[in-house]
Amino acid sequence: MLKLYDYELSGNCFKIRWFLNILGIEYESVAVEFYPSKEHKSAWFKEINPLGQLPVIDDDDFRLRDAQAILVYIATKYDSSGNWYPSHDASQTGEIAQWLSFADSLTATISSARLATTFFFDFDLEKCQTGGHELLRILDEHLWFQEQQQLEWICRGRHPSLAEIACFPYVALSEEGGISRQEFAAVRRWTDRVKRIPGFIGMPGIFPAGS
């Protein structure tokens, strides 16, 4: 069975749990206590991922780190619909890769701000918040233009893609890092749509859409 090295309060681990749930794939979760014991920096875990980062998967002895890489792997291997990562279409794949990279920038800013406010990590909070706010502004503008073309999702096409899975968690957790989404109406409409994608699950800090 696929094994996920997992931490409940991590947005990057959440995106893997959520995507596996969408596809209906059973997995075994191995809890790694990121806080307060910093188990992801322990000797045993660094043998699994020398970068000391979560998540990591182990699928039949194939080991992979990096949340975005794991999403690409799972979609390519298990999503028979091909909707989440349409690898035959150059423009779509390129766009998705662009937003997967954007998701990494969300981790570097919004996730870091949240680690500073909630878990007292020694980061430059103001810099993380300014950076995160700027990324939300860029996403908001992009989503507004998509809406003008009757497109509901980040990338072209009628179906949500891995870009949604990768970008949503730290957008939805931004307020825990002290970054408000109040002025980003298109982002807020998009997070509501994402929560209504079948198979959505929440995590601490992210509630499902009201019924």
Residues that bind other proteins (CB under 8 A): 8-9, 31, 33, 35-37, 39, 117-120, 175-176, 178, 203-205, 207
Q: Which is nearer to other proteins, 60 or 122 (CB)?
A: 122
In the bound complex, what is the minimum distance in angstroms from residue 73's beta carbon to other proteins?
A: 26
Residue closer to other proteins (CB basis): 92 or 129: 129
Give the shortest CB-44-to-other proteins separation in angstroms: 13
Work out how close the CB of 87 gets to other proteins at its nearest, in angstroms, rounded to a whole number. Answer: 35
Question: How many whole angstroms separate alpha carbon 68 and alpha carbon 183?
Answer: 28
Environment class of 138 (CB within 10 Å of its CB; exposed 0-12, middle 13-18, buried 19+)? exposed
d(CA 135, CA 140): 8
State CA 112 to chain mean position distance.
14
Provide the minimum distance between the beta carbon of 58 and other proteins in the complex, in angstroms, as a whole number. Answer: 19
36 or 88: CB nearest other proteins: 36
